[in-house]
A and B are shown apart, each in its own frame.
Chain A
Amino acid sequence: MPQATYLEAIRQGLWEEMESDPTVFCIGEDIGIYGGAFKVTDGFVHHFGPQRVIDTPIAESAIVGAAFGAALTGMRPVAEFQFMDFIGCAFNQIVNMVAKSHYRWGAPAPLVLRGPCGGGVHGGPFHSQNPEMYFVHTPGMKVVAPSTPADAKGLIKSAVRDNNPVLFLEHKFLYRRIKDEVPEGDYTVPIGKARLHRPGRDLSIITYAAMVHTAQEAAELLAKEGIEVEILDLRTLLPLDREAIAQTVKKTNKVILLHEDTRTGGLAGELAAIINEEAFDDLDGPIVRITSLDTPVPFSPPLEHFFLPKVEDVVREARKLHAY
C-alpha cells in the first residue's frame, strides 16, 4: 500500500471527491493560486478551475454563509478556515444558521468546514486552539478529528458525502510529521465509528487526534514494564461511538481520558458521563483525565510544553491507575 503524509491523505481525499462529484467545490481564503496556508489545495485551482476553488475576502461568516447558501441549491461546499482559531468569527453562522436548519425547516446543509487546529507548533494563543467542544455541544453538527493518514483520507471523503454539516479538524502538528499507509482509490471511513488503535489488557486510553500518538508512545514505554495499554481513537467526536467506549472499558476495567483540548468542559467530562451510564459496574478504578491546562495556549516553547499533555504524564498516570 502506498504511503502518504496526513496532509497528502487529506489532499487525496478532497481531490478525489472533487474529481468524482461536480457539486463539490472549495471555498476559503488564499486556497486558489496560493494553495492554502498549509497547501491542502495546492494545485487544485489549475485542475478544477477558479469556479470550483474560490478565493474569498477575509470574512469567515461570509465563507460559511455562502457555503450554506450554495448547499441549499444542492451543492456540496468544502469551506476552509485558514486556522481553526478563526472559526469563532463564524460561530453564529455555524451554530444558528447551519446546524439548526434541518431541524427547524427541513433544509439539509451538506457542507464541510475544515482546517488546521491544535498546538505543539508554537503558534501562540490564536494559531493553536482546539475548538471542537463549541461544536460538539451543537446538535446538528458532526465533528471529526482523524489521527492517521488513512483515517484522514477516509473521513474527509465521508464528510464530503454526508448530508449534514461536518466540522473536519485537521491537526496541524500531524500534517507532515506522520506518514503511513493510505489505501488508494475510493476509501471511506464511516463517521461515528471509533477505531481500536492498539489492543491491550490492563487499561484503556480513550483519545483522539494528535494525542493518539502521545498515547502510543506512552503505551510502548509501558509495555516494557509489562503494562498492556489499549488505545481507542474516537475519530468522530459527534456523534460519539458509545458502544466502542463501553466496550473498551468493559474489557480493561480502567480508563484514562486524554485530550489536547483544555480541561474544563472538554470532551473527557462527557466521556466520563457516558462511561458512568454504560459501564459503571465494570470500573475497577477512578476515571482519569489528562488534558491541557485551563489557560489559553501559551506561545513560548517552555510554556507550551508545560501546557500540553506529554508522554510522561500519560506514563505516570497509567502506572498509578494500573497499581490502583
Chain B
Amino acid sequence: MATKSKSAKSAKPTTRKTSANGRTSSGKSAPIKASVNGRPAPLAKAPAIYVNQFGIPDWRLEHPEFTVREVTSGPEVHYEISGKLNTPVPPLRESKYMNKDQHLALYRWMLMNRRMEVALENLYKQSKVVGGVYFGLGQEACSCASAFALGKDDWFAPMIRNQGAQLVRGFHARDIMMQYMAKAGSPTHGKDGTSHYGDIEKRQMVAPISMLGDLLPVMAGVSLGARMQGRELACLTWIGDGGQSTGVSYEGINFAAVRKLGLVLIIESNLWAYSTPTEYQVNVKDLANRAIGYGMPGVIIDGTDACQVYDATYEAVERAHRGEGPTLIEAKLMRMKGHAIHDAAAYVPKEMHEFWRTRDCIDRFQKYLIEKKWLTPAQDAELMAGVEKEIDAEREFAENSPMPEGHTAAEGVYCDGTCHAIKPKYAMPKKARRSEGKLKETEAAIHFK
C-alpha cells in the first residue's frame, strides 16, 4: 500500500537563509528591532531555512510525504494513506526569541491545556456537560505558543481547538468548563457554550461564531479600529484547513492584505476537517503558498514544535506592530481525536494516527527541555502535580456554579446604554480633516434615476 510518492523523490530541498517572513529574500536575516511594546530582540541566530519552489519559507525539520485517498475497492469505501510513514521524529528547532523561563512557562500552559481537556472529557462522561466537547489534542503547541507570542495589548480570536490560547491570555479553566456546563457563572451566563465567549475590556478576545471564516474580516477590522486610534496591534486568529475554504476567509484575508492590517492568521493544517481529509478540501499541498495570491508573507511551520510556533507568530506579531500588514502561517499537524467527543474518527487510517502520535507536541517539548537541562524529571513531575491540582480546583469551582435562571433568557438582546458606554479603547481618533469645506449639494449623475 505504501507506494512512494513521486514528489518525495523529486523535491530536493534547496537550503538558503532567508528572513523569516520575507519569502523571496535570501542572504542574512533582517535584524529584528525591539518592538514598540519593548519585546526582546532575537536571542539566537536564525538556523538555515528551506524555501519551497514558490519561495515560501518552510521552517520544518522534516517534510512528511504522504497522501490520503478515498478507496472504493473492498467491502466499504474508506480512506487509505500512502507515503513515507516510518521516518524518524525530527528535533525541535531552537527558538530565536524565547528564553528559558518562557520555555518553561509555555510548557506549563500546554500541560494546562491538555489537563483541562481531560477534565472536560471526564465531566462529559459524568453527563455534566451540555452538548459536546471539542479537543485540541496534539495541537496544544499551536494554540498556546502562538497566544504566548502576543504582546500585552494584542487581540486574539480563538477557534474551537484553541482552548489553550484562552488560558494563556488570562482566562481560567473554570470559564471554559462553565461554558461547557452552561452555568450561570460562565462568561456568557449560559447564553452560549464552548469557547464561544470573549472580552473586549481586559483580555481583547473576540468571541468566535460557529460559521467558519467569519472571524477573519472581524480581526482585520479590529486592527483597523485600533489604527484609527493610533495603535498598530496584532490580531491573531486561527482557521482550519477546512474552514479556510469558505468565501468569507478570502474576503477577510484580502482586505487585511490590501489595507496592511495586523491580521496574524494561523492555518491549522491538521489534515482533517470533520471527516474530510485535506486532499478533498484543497488541491494544493501547502496552504501557505496561497499567501502569494494575497500578496502577503506566508510561512510553513511544524505545528507540533512549540518553538517554531512561537517564533513564527512572534515575527508576524512584530510585523503587525510595525504596521507592515498581515502574515499567513501554515502550521502542519494533526487533529489527534475525532471532530468532537462523539466522533471516534474511525475514518482515520491507523498508521497516520501513529505517525503523528510519535510527534506529540508536549512529549517532544518535554524531552527538549529535559535534554537542555532546563527541566529535571523531578521538576517535571512537580509541575504536572501543580497543574492537576489547579485544574481540579477549577473544575470544583465550575461544578459548584449554579445553572442560570430561565427568565434571564429574555435579557440582553440590545445594549440599552446602561450596560455599555461606547468609547474608543485607545485614544480619540485624530480628526484627519483635510479641508475646511462645508457639505455641498451633490449634482453628480447617479446609478438609476
Instruction: Answer yes or no: are A and B bound together in one complex.
Output: yes
By a beta-carbon cutoff of 8 Å, the part of chain A in contact with chain B is 7-8, 11-12, 15, 22-23, 25, 35, 37-39, 42-43, 46-49, 51-52, 54, 56-57, 59-77, 92-93, 96-97, 100-108, 110, 121-123, 127, 139-140, 142, 163-164, 172, 175-176
Whether A163 pairs with B415 at a CB distance below 8 angstroms is yes
Chain B interface mostly helix, strand, loop or mixed? Answer: loop
Against A, the Cβ 8 Å flags (1 = close, 0 = not) of B185-198 are: 00110011000111
Interface contact B446-A38, CB-CB below 8 Å: yes
The answer to whether B225 touches A73, judged by C-beta atoms less than 8 angstroms apart, is yes
Some 11 contacts from A to B, beta carbons below 8 A apart, are: A22-B428, A54-B224, A57-B258, A59-B255, A60-B251, A73-B225, A104-B188, A106-B420, A127-B448, A163-B414, A163-B416
Contact of A140 with B413 in the complex, beta carbons under 8 Å: yes
Interface size class of B (residues with CB under 8 A): 35 or more
Q: CA of A234 to CA of B297 in the docked complex: distance in angstroms?
A: 51
A102–B416 Cα distance when bound, in Å, is 10
Contact of A57 with B222 in the complex, beta carbons under 8 Å:
no
B449 at the interface (CB under 8 A from A): yes
Residue contact A7 to B214, C-beta cutoff 8 Å: no
B407 at interface by CB-CB < 8 Å: no
Given contacts A51-B228, A96-B209, whether A163 and B425 have CB atoms under 8 Å apart is no
Most chain A beta-carbon neighbours within 10 Å: one of B187, B222, B223, B428: B222
Query: B188, A47: Cβ atoms under 8 Å?
Result: no
B437 interface hit (Cβ, 8 Å): yes
Contact of B225 among A38, A64, A71, A176 (CB under 8 A): A71
Specify which of A15, A67, A73 is in contact with B424 (CB 8 Å cutoff). Answer: A73
Whole-angstrom CA separation of A39 from B446 in the bound complex:
7
Q: Is the CB of B439 within 8 A of A11?
A: yes
Asked if A74 contacts B225 (CB within 8 A), the reply is: yes
Q: Chain B residues near A48: list those with CB within 8 A.
A: 431-434
| A62 and B252 alpha carbons, distance in the complex (Å) | 5
B427-449: contact bitstring with A at CB < 8 Å (1 yes, 0 no)? Answer: 01111111101011110101111
Q: Which residue of B lies closest to A25 (CB)?
A: B228
Q: A73: which B residues are within 8 A, CB to CB?
A: 200, 222, 225-226, 229, 424-426
A62 touches B187 (CB 8 A): no
B119-141 CB mask vs A (1 if < 8 Å, else 0) is 00000000000000000000000
Task: Tell which of A8, A49, A76, A96 touches B214, judged by Cβ atoms closer than 8 Å.
Answer: A96
Q: Does B207 sit at the interface, judged by CB under 8 A? A: yes
User: Which residues of the other chain, B, contact A72 by a CB distance below 8 angstroms?
Assistant: 200, 206, 218, 221-222, 225
Residue of B nearest to A66 (CB): B221
Q: Are A93 and B214 touching (Cβ within 8 A)? A: yes
CB pair B446 A69 closer than 8 Å: no
| Given known contacts A22-B429, A73-B226, A102-B412, A43 and B434 CB-to-CB distance under 8 angstroms | no
Instruction: Out of A37, A64, A106, name the residue touching B446 (CB < 8 Å).
Output: A37
Which A-chain residue is minimally distant from B231 (CB atoms)?
A: A73
Nearest B residue (CB) for A50: B432
Extra pairs beyond A61-B252, A74-B229, A104-B191 (6, CB < 8 Å): A61-B248, A72-B218, A73-B425, A142-B414, A163-B414, A176-B449
- Report Cα–Cα, A69/B208, bound state, in Å: 12
**Contact between chains at B442 and A39 (CB < 8 Å):** yes
